[in-house]
Structure 1
Amino acid sequence: MTMIAQWMQGLVNYVRAAEPDLTNRQLAVLLLVHYTSGPHTVRGLAEALAVSKPVITRALDKLANLGFLARQADEADGRNVFIVGTSRGGAFLAKFEDYFGNNAAERSAFARDNGIIVHH
């Protein structure tokens, strides 16, 4: 299955599961915080995604409301705020990964059942 077909499979499964509806930016922020080393800041996330700080702040507001990320004060400098992953966010990402199929048999079955032409 091509990468795009696998991505389609994952997104279709995700939508069918009625999980929270995240934008691409929100998902990118969530993935960056959970899968890259920190500390993460609004400024650093904005630079990593080439977007403005208000874009990151809006994404963080949604993700924090869902309990997927949290803001944590820097104990060394109270002016700084770090963005940290939560166990709930980690659990969501583990389920999200499962939507893409864990093995070739699952991916092939999805392709067959949904009329996807598999290119090798």
Structure 2
Amino acid sequence: MSIAMRPSQAMRLWQQVMLSQVREGAPDLTMRQTAILFTIYLDPPPHTVRGLAARLNVTKPVITRALDTMGGLKLVSRHRDELDKRNVLVKRTVEGALFVERFGDGIIARAQELPI
């Protein structure tokens, strides 16, 4: 599926999605946190702190700080890997899955409002 948009339309869509998130009181995530969250939910598991750091080209402490925030919001959870204690596995949660699903629904709804 391909959608043809001008840059201004794409920016308007993104603005409308962000505005709807703010109005609905959704968790206030940074762009980095959002990128990490979408990576966890859209890319197949397993996810580790080390793997996420490599994927996003940032340090492990950057991922850890983001996961601290998202864990506090119950969007993700972390567990020590029983097979390799050096690894921390990042897991999806029901709350996180619902957040991502609602975000996707918001994108669809706002895109349908765009003038053709």
Return the TM-score normalized by structure 1. 0.81
Aligned-partner Cα distance in 2 for 1:96–1:103? 11
Q: Once the 2 structures are TM-superposed, how far is the Cα of residue 92 of structure 1 from its aligned partner?
A: 0.8
Identity of aligned residues (%): 42
Corresponding residue of 2:57: 50
Q: Once the 2 structures are TM-superposed, how far is the Cα of residue 51 of structure 1 from its aligned partner?
A: 1.1
Select the structure of larger CA radius of gyration. Answer: 1
Aligned-partner Cα distance in 2 for 1:18–1:64? 18
Q: Once the 2 structures are TM-superposed, how far is the Cα of residue 107 of structure 1 from its aligned partner?
A: 1.6
Q: 1:64 aligns with which of 60, 65, 71?
A: 71
Instruction: Count residues with an aligned counterpart.
Output: 109
Q: Once the 2 structures are TM-superposed, how far is the Cα of residue 79 of structure 1 from its aligned partner?
A: 2.9
1:37-116 paired onto structure 2 within 5 Å: 37-102=44-109, 106-108=112-114
Q: Once the 2 structures are TM-superposed, how far is the Cα of residue 5 of structure 1 from its aligned partner?
A: 1.5
8 Å Cα contact 1:13/1:100 also seen in 2:
no
Return the TM-score normalized by structure 2. 0.83
Q: Once the 2 structures are TM-superposed, how far is the Cα of residue 80 of structure 1 from its aligned partner?
A: 1.9
8 Å Cα contact 1:41/1:82 also seen in 2:
yes
Q: Once the 2 structures are TM-superposed, how far is the Cα of residue 101 of structure 1 from its aligned partner?
A: 3.5
Unmatched tracts of structure 1, length 5 or more:
109-117
RMSD: 1.8
Q: Once the 2 structures are TM-superposed, how far is the Cα of residue 16 of structure 1 from its aligned partner?
A: 1.0
8 Å Cα contact 2:76/2:96 also seen in 1:
yes
RCO higher in structure (CA 8 A, sep ≥6)? 1
